Structure 1
Amino acid sequence: MLTKPAPATPAALPAVAFTWTRPASWPPALLAGLSAGLLWLGWPVHPAPLALLLLVAWVPYLSLEAALVRRGSSGWKVFRYSYLTLVLWNAFTTWWVSYSTLWGGITAVIFNALFMCMPVMAFYHTKRLAGPRLGYLSLPVYWIAFEQLHLHWDFTWPWLTLGNGFATANGLVQWYEYTGFLGGSLWIWVANLLVFFSLQKYQDAATGAGPTLGRVQVQRLLLGPLLAILLPIGLSKIIGSRYQEKGAAAEVLVIQPNFDPFEEKFEGGARFIPYQEQLQRLFQLTEQNLTPQTRLVLWPETALEEQNWEAQFEANPKALQIRAFLARHPGLELVTGATTLTSYPTREAARPSSRFRDDIGYYDFFNTAVFFADAAKPVEFYHKSRLVPGVEGVPHWLSAFVIDLGGAAGGLGSQDTRSVFRPAAGDSSLRVAPVICYESVYGDFVGEYVQNGATLIGIITNDGWWSDSPGHQQHLQYATLRAIETRRDVARSANTGISGYINQKGEITRQTGWWVPAAARGTVHLNTDLTFYVRYGELIGRAAQALAVLLLAFVLVRALNRRFAT
């Protein structure tokens, strides 16, 4: 007599029917390299879909750290492999800095990776002293607290802030208008931790180290990571589909003169082009592409490179030529980059960045944006204030190690407020934020211009130092995140980078080629509404810093209690 076989139970899961090699058993160097490689593959300017790799890129590192702890490895060994992960990621992603200076590129990679070890080692010690639950919760807190610090201290280099990683795939993060780019950092860590926890439980079941999982338990393991990944994407798609460009329209012209910064742009270069000839190329490109509707022209960073004293700027021959040009085009405004200088009557009036010469006294160099509202109104100056560490912003004790990139390198002056350039008369809807080069990497910093009334972000830059590398492309893409955070159009004028336009949804609507003289005319929209992020700034970063202080205090007390108890 035949009997009907009993149905299989849910606990009989194929997951335990094969031999599983736990990633935790892989060589630590391999796991470190895998995390670094995934972070690099997910980073701009790789194809946008690869940005999703950032949501799992830290899983190999988390497996590495957990395996080392399980084996009883020392904190020093954990540090070594953490540093290996981070230095490889920095090298893979920002190697192009070496085009401007080999020593500067090497230094940036070595020391930025070292700084990044601070939050991961704080996580390791918190987990060791307070247990895994609080330890893993502390990791995104420490990391984002560090990223917030990295936006404001002397060695600021937020190029690898995790939230920047979605710049090419900014359709996934339209909610940055509420959180800013640190919201992207939080998303990355939450997704990675949930994937790691689920993978750990699945591995334990597959290898017999934990209870066998049924189909329902496996589905539950998958649910958390999937929701963490898909819900923010879905929210972004909804926000993006509903958003419409806001504000009055205006025609803007951006100029890309394309002077080689190593050989043509600066005096002393092998093929130096006299400054008057450089100015004539700017005029020529502008005249050829103007229309009667053009309201604003942007010339790039240090377009007027000669040392221009601000007190005598109105009598400067080049300023007079610009005024004569504007007189022929009534209603046109112009923003140009320049190197300017200001002297101080006494030592007490000087700033910490000031220099001294016997024949001048105390004075400052500035990387400046100059605004000509029309042919007659006095010019306005904005001094670049987020300075590139080691190139423009140098603590006094590091002044001997300044990297000279031409012009007035090292220890430049800055200003405390974000100036907004406003028209001379009539319609005041066109109010330009003069964002100079590196400043466009800072979300909260750009938001300050908008708080002060800016309706258009005007970026002037010179990205030719990095040659034809991911550097200038990443710089362009990062500006798309500033457009989303502030819901402002971006007009971008690069000397030898990529010039063009970005709309309020972060979409690049027009761009020039690389390493060619060019001009691009575009219509921008002048939004006056303030986003949540602009109104309240880096809430996530500040909250993370407060929590990090509390966590570190708790861990310190726990450590002291252990020491005295023994």
Structure 2
Amino acid sequence: MSKNKKNPESPEEKKSKNRERLLQIFSGIMLGVSFPPVPFPFTLLMFVGLIPYLKVIETKQTLLEINRSTYLTAFVFSLITIYWVGSWQKEADTFLMISGALLLFVNPAQLLIPSTLYYFTKKLFKRNIALYVFPLFWVTYEYVTMNTEIRFPWMTLGSGMALFNKFIQAADVIGSLGLSLIVIYLNIFFYKAFINYKISKKKFYLNFSFSVLIILIIISYGFYRSSSFQLSEKKIRVGLIQPNINPWDKWATGDLNTFLNLYLDLSEKAVKEGAEILVWPETAMPVYLLSGGHWSIVDSIYSFLQQHNIYLLTGMPDLIYYNKDNFPGDAKYSESGDFYYATYNAVLLLSPHTRELQRYGKTKLVPFGEKVPYADKIPFLGSLIKWGVGISGWNVGKDTTVFSLQGNTEEDSLYINGLVCYESIFPDFVAQFVDKGAQFIAVVTNDSWYGKLSGPYQHKEYAALRAVENRRSVVRAANGGVSCIINPLGITEIESEMFEKTSVVGDVVLENEKTFFTRNPLIIPILSSAFSIWILGIFILKKIKTKFHL
């Protein structure tokens, strides 16, 4: 008989493996249903969702076994949380559906980062040590995957806590990645309590009590901040325009004059309700409106702004031309015109007083949908993949821009920033705008690609974390919803329904104080990453010494 031939599994071994798979799947289910839009009580499952998974990986000895277990849990978690990414609407672009399906398989693989580091630590130190530093590895994974070109950090555990308002108040100190850290430690302490229930009552009560104590401390802080935080008396009335234009037809057959009339009608309604600044959604017009060729529409917009003495912050495709002697490295060359140009998914601030624009080009582009990852380094990739709705191949914005609405005095002036779509899920990125002086955060987005699936509702709820982290109001102008105003405590004050033509008007408080998180957004992710790199370095060094008998 060959030495490599495996003995057949006994019925007991098969039963054990099936039991483990069920535990892994159960973990993925609990994590998935703890995320929005599933209502609040289910959020509490986040505190125990990892327990079945931890029970399985604690018994595994090889990296392959640990990563297999991790992938299954992560896949189920992904399937429930981001199933909507492919859109699955009848008009959906084929490429969008394919990339959405691929994401469900690729995204879980990123969770092999913390499980691999856990295995390394388990080999270097005791099993208990590996377990207690596992949360640091998880936060490292969440942070690192926010900073690659294939980033889609939609499943950070801190984001999943968005509906637990009193719990997320701590984000003004530790941010959403800090919340992730706490959530994973709670899972570990509850897990330790669970496995010691029949073995050691003392250890059971110690771990259980410690878990409850952490929750009580975080919630107590939440009640304290909610009651003690004084909202600024300085306010501005904002009008959010939700035109509910079909996102698929807009790029193919859209009539610009029809769109313009719709925007101006809804804007007129908002002005009558007292709006002092208007916000239109992402790519409000499906053309490079200000690049020439559409001056009659531009004149109509400026005429409206001057008539009502009102500013307009709008999402808009933006095209910038460069001459051959002075152009950025990522500019595209036009052979027909013999010039260079760059295109941006942008936010523009239009003033009633001047036609001098303030502009911001989206920095965090959606992988594959808006930019093929690493296409600047491997150029042929960019020509292989193009989304059929006119929004692929954008250039990357250059800076975090804070828009200035100048008043008669500095005190009367207003400073805001504009984020485009999924940029609002990046905690430290948003903090950069506030640190530069933004008094409230505006998000322009188009979430109606995904119908009434979970995505648009998750995106809206995640914005509450940005509000709390920075103690700034967040306003969202979404093409098909959800448009809303969220106050600095993370509470939604007014919101629209999905797929209605409407304007949402409300008062937005203007804050100036910066939170600890705003000033120091990277403390927890940097320390976690540094520790992870240290562990990785020790493991590699040990392997080298063993191999070469050093």
The answer to whether TM tops 0.5 is yes
> Aligned match of 1:135 in 122, 130, 134?
130
Q: Measure the CA separation in 1 of the matches of 2:333 and 2:129.
A: 49
Query: Paired residue for 2:118?
Result: 123
Q: How does 1:235-246 map to 2 (within 5 A)?
A: 235-246=221-232
TM-score (norm 2): 0.90
Q: Tell me the residue number matched to 2:55.
A: 63
Counterparts of residues 231-380 of structure 1 (less than 5 Å)? 231-263=217-249, 265-267=250-252, 272-291=253-272, 293-308=274-289, 310=291, 312=292, 316-330=295-309, 332-346=310-324, 349-352=327-330, 354=332, 356-380=334-358
Assess, with a 3 A threshold, how the Cα gap between structure 1 residues 198 and 403 changes in structure 2: closer, same or farther: farther
Q: Which has the larger radius of gyration?
A: 1
Deviating runs (4+, > 6 A) in structure 1? Answer: 23-26
Q: CA deviation at 1:242?
A: 1.6
**2:452 equivalent to 1:468:** yes
| Unmatched 5+ stretches in structure 2 | 1-14
Q: Is 1:229 aligned to 2:223, yes or no?
A: no
Q: 1:86 to 1:357 in 2, by over 3 A?
A: farther
Would you say the 8 A contact 1:481–1:506 is kept in 2?
yes
1:538 positional shift: 1.8
Residue matched to 2:20: 28
Q: Tell me by how many angstroms 1:485 deviates.
A: 0.7
Shift of 1:230: 2.5
Contact 1:354 1:413 in 2 (8 A): no
Tell which deviates more after alignment, 235-244 or 395-404. 395-404
> Where do 1:155-554 residues align within 5 Å?
155-203=150-198, 205=199, 213-214=200-201, 216=202, 218-263=204-249, 265-267=250-252, 272-291=253-272, 293-308=274-289, 310=291, 312=292, 316-330=295-309, 332-346=310-324, 349-352=327-330, 354=332, 356-394=334-372, 395-396=374-375, 397=378, 398-404=381-387, 406-410=389-393, 412-426=394-408, 428-554=412-538
Higher alpha-carbon deviation: 79-88 or 497-506? 79-88
Amino acid at match of 2:36: P
Distance 1:385 1:111 in 2: 23
1:290 aligned counterpart, secondary structure: helix
1:478-520 Cα offsets, whole Å, 9 max, x none, are 1111100111111211111211210010000000111010101
Separation in structure 1 between the aligned mates of residue 144 and residue 365 of structure 2, nearest angstrom: 15
Aligned residue for 1:422, secondary structure, equals strand
Provide the rounded CA distance (Å) in 1 between the counterparts of 2:41 and 2:519: 31
Distance 1:194 1:565, change over 3 A: farther
Amino acid at match of 1:425: G
Q: Is the 8 A contact 1:323 1:376 kept in 2?
A: no
- Could you tell me which amino acid in structure 1 is paired with residue 465 of structure 2? L
Assess if the C-alpha contact under 8 Å between 1:373 and 1:424 holds in 2. Answer: no
Distance between the aligned counterparts of 1:554 and 1:77, measured in 2? 22
Q: Secondary structure at the match of 1:92?
A: helix
Distance verdict in 2 for CA 1:551–1:517, change over 3 Å = same
CA distance in 1, matches of 2:73, 2:149: 24
Question: In structure 2, how many angstroms separate the alpha carbons of the residues matched to 1:30 and 1:292?
Answer: 55
Q: Distance in 1 between matches of 2:524 and 2:203?
A: 33
**Gap runs ≥5 in structure 1:** 1-22, 206-212
2: distance between equivalents of 1:196 and 1:475?
A: 31
Query: Does the CA-based 8 Å contact 2:120-2:535 persist in structure 1?
Result: no
Larger CA deviation: 289-298 vs 381-390: 289-298
Match of 1:81 in 2: 69
Q: Helix, strand or coil for the counterpart of 1:158?
A: coil
1:423 positional shift = 1.3
CA contact under 8 A between 2:167 and 2:218: conserved in structure 1? yes
Deviation at 1:135, TM superposition (A): 1.3
Identity, in percent, stands at: 26
Residue-by-residue CA offset, 1:167-201 (whole Å, 9 max, x unaligned): 12232110101111111110111101111222222
TM-score (structure 1 length as normaliser): 0.88
RMSD after superposition:
2.2
CA distance in 2, matches of 1:334, 1:266: 22
Counterparts in 2 of 1:329 and 1:309: CA distance versus 1, 3 Å: closer
**Which amino acid counterpart does residue 81 of structure 1 have in structure 2?**
S
